[in-house]
Structure formats: C-alpha cells, structure tokens
Amino acid sequence: MDDTNDIVIQTFRLTKIFRDFWLREKVTAVSELDLTVHRKEVFGLLGPNGSGKSTTIKMLLGLLFPTSGRVTIFGHTPTDVGIKARIGFLPEESYLYPFLDAWETLDFYGRLFHQPRRERMRRIGKLLEMVGLASVAYRRVGEYSKGMQRRIGLAQALINDPDLLILDEPTSGMDPVGSRQFKDLIHVLAQRGKTILLSSHLLADVEDVSDRVCILYGGRVRSEGRIEDLLGRHALTQITAQRLDDATLARVRQVLQQAGCDVVDVTTPRDKLEALFLRIVQEAQRKKLATGGAVAGEVADFLRSGESDSEQLIQELVQAAQPAPAAPAVVEPVAVEPARDVLDELVEEKPAPPPAAVSPVPPPPGSPLRQDRADRSVLDELMGQGQPEETDRP
C-alpha cells in the first residue's frame, strides 16, 4: 500500500462531462480516471488531441470542477489556497501581459508570492540567465517569438521554487537546443526532489525524462507503467559491436543458427538527427560564434541546491557581516524641485470680467456650470505626485 505522505497527486474515478445549454450530455472529456503520482517522480501524461489531458490538468489545478470523483493535491483539494504556493504551472499557451518586459513579468509574479525584494531580485536574475533571456530581459514580452515566450513562461512557473511542477506542452515552439536544455533542467529538478507532471505530444521528450507514463484515449487510461516495462522488447536480444566485415558477419549468423536462434536483423546503426544537430550547435557555441538567438545558462542555484531559503539568508547575512574594502563615496544627485510658478498661476482664482452691456443668456436647464478653478488633484498627478510603486530593477 502506498505511503500517503509520498503521494502528491491522486485521483479516484475522476470524471468530467461537458453539457450543452439544456444540460444534455455533450461530451465526456474524462471518464473514471485513477492516477497516482509520487513525490520526486516525473510523470508523463500522453494522448492524442481530445483525449482529456488538458481537462485533467485543469481539474488538478482547481480551474475546472469534476462532475464526479475525487482529486487531491498534497492531500488537499485543489481549491485549497494553501497549496497554491507549492505549485508551478506552465499552460499550453503563455498568457502573459504583452506590454511588460521579462524582468517586470517575473517581478510581478514574485510579488504575488510575497517574496522579499532581495530574494526576488536574486531569483529573477538567475531564472533569466537559466532560460537564456538575460540579454533581452528589458524587451516587451509581446515582441518575443513563440519559443522565447515558452522560455519566459517556464521561468514564471519556477519563480516560487515549487514542489509540484505541471507543464503542458513545454517545448512547443522551442528549437532543438532549447528542447535539449529543457530536458536537462527536468533531470536536475527531479534530482532535487521536485515532482513533475509533463504533458506533451513530443513522445521522444517524454521518453527521455519520464519515470512513468499514462496514455489516455477518449478520457480513459489505456496504458500506464514505467518506461522500461512499456518499451522493453524482452523477446529480443541486441548485440552491439564494432563494424564487422562480411565474412565475420557470416560466421556470427552461422553460430546463432546452430544455437537455434533466428537472426531478425543485422544493420549498421546510425546517429539521431537531434544528436547531430546538437553537436554542431554546441561546437559553434564553444567557438563563441555570434548569434541573435537565446543562449541558456546554468540552472538557477535556488532550484538546484537543497538549501532552504532561511539557510541561504543566514549565509548571505554572514557574508554581509564580513569586512569589505571601502567603496568610493558616491555623490547623491541633488533633487530639483519642479517650478510651481506656472501651476500657482493656474490655480489662482481669476478676476471676474466686467459686466457686458447685453444681458447674458441663461444656460439651458440641466447643463453643468463651468468651474473657473482648476482641479488641483489633476495638476498634482501631472507633477508626478501619488504615482504607484515602480518595479524594482537591478
């Protein structure tokens, strides 16, 4: 029996039925789904379009309510606000505000998690370097390519250092280098003890990083198990050797046939296109050839290290207490107060004009009277008073 403390995600007969306006059953997206995802596990959720993957993820996050069945995350219901800070989510489409740059975007999400300014600034810098966007950190997100938007979306999902990471089509739009770096990141996060739920149509990516997979079709589980058990061809034995000449191959075939074995295939293995592509690109990076694309750095230390935030804070305080060489004095610029002569003239009450010879025409009923005095609050806003707090930048 599974230890309940070791279970991160568990569903029991989870069902979601979408109905039309007349409450008639329209489509059964998920039907009696039973899943169990353990701590420190990379779990792949596979299936064709319309198989129920995205619907399942939305129910796990509490964005959709199930028609029947149960789902628990860390032993709580998905609607429990207390577990939200332990979850990182990268949706299939990156819904980010297009007029913020990458730094402002991560700063906004860091504030949502009430992270201290010092820790928030450190994480933002590390994450931007990790996903390869440090050189374009101040470019608007709306100007990013599809692959770059996936990169900033991944950084946003990691800003809170989550215990559970849910990724929906994370490598969509990424180039082969970005896909390889993403898989390396998954391995590092899994080694640190993160639990990762991965949904993707790129089966090679899921195969490379997942411990277990579940294949959905029509909202039901069609196959589930460990990668080795599902893909192992136990009826065959493969022998790898250096290239053999025809005479040696003939003798090997003869020995196998005498032993009663059928030789199924004898071929010369070839490299994968992904491996060839990565070798060429990595060689170019080692030569430091110029490129306008994203070049990722190392994995952020707060994601990779096992230290808690409190331990890191203590270490930083100890380092700060050590004497450091005196820095040259910095002359503070003198703040210049804006001249208010013109504004004072604007807000002063103007003298009334002399009476005209012709009697004024009374205004129509219901028309607002014009105010001769300027609104002081509007002028204060023009002078920059009462502005909201600006985003912290390094």
pLDDT tens-digit profile of 283-297? 766 777 554 445 666
pLDDT, mean of residues 298-311: 61
More confident residue, 14 or 320: 14
131: enclosing H helix or E strand? none
Query: Predicted confidence band at 327 (pLDDT cuts at 50, 70, 90)?
Result: low
The mean pLDDT value of the chain amounts to: 78
Q: Left (φ > 0), alpha (ψ -120 to 50) or beta: where does 172 sit?
A: beta
Q: How far apart are CA 32 and CA 28, in angstroms?
A: 10
Return the structure tokens found at 70.
Answer: 């149960």
User: Are the C-beta atoms of 196 and 60 separated by less than 8 Å?
Assistant: no
Domain 4-232+294-309 class in CATH: alpha beta
Sheet holding 68-73, edge to edge: 25-38, 7-19, 68-73
Residue 55 has pLDDT above 90, yes or no: yes
Q: What φ, ψ does residue 222 adopt, rounded to 5°? A: -100, -25
Q: What φ, ψ does residue 203 adopt, rounded to 5°? A: -65, -30
Return the structure tokens found at 88.
Answer: 């990182």
Residue 117 has pLDDT above 90, yes or no: yes
User: Are the C-beta atoms of 55 and 17 separated by less than 8 Å?
Assistant: no
More confident residue, 10 or 272: 10
Domain boundaries, given as residue ranges, for the chain: 4-232+294-309
Q: 301-308 long-range CB contacts below 8 Å, 24 or more apart?
A: 301/126, 302/122, 302/123, 302/126, 302/161, 303/126, 303/130, 303/158, 303/161, 303/188, 303/189, 303/192, 304/188, 304/192, 305/192, 306/192, 306/193
pLDDT of residue 343: 45
Query: Predicted confidence band at 165 (pLDDT cuts at 50, 70, 90)?
Result: very high
pLDDT digits (tens, 9 = 90+) for 238-255: 777 777 788 888 888 888
pLDDT, mean of residues 329-356: 52
Residue 223 has pLDDT above 50, yes or no: yes
pLDDT, mean of residues 348-369: 54
pLDDT over 70, % of the chain: 66
Q: How far apart are CA 160 and CA 110, in angstroms?
A: 7
Tell me the helix, strand and coil percentages in the chain, rounded to 5: 40, 15, 45
Q: How far apart are CA 168 and CA 53, in angstroms?
A: 9
Q: Angle at Cα 156 formed by Cα 151 and Cα 162, nearest 5°?
A: 120
User: Are the C-beta atoms of 9 and 76 separated by less than 8 Å?
Assistant: no
Q: Looking at the DSSP assignment, which residues form a beta bridge with residue 73?
A: 9, 76
Strand 42-46 vs strand 87-90: parallel, antiparallel, or unpaired? unpaired
The model's pTM: 0.65
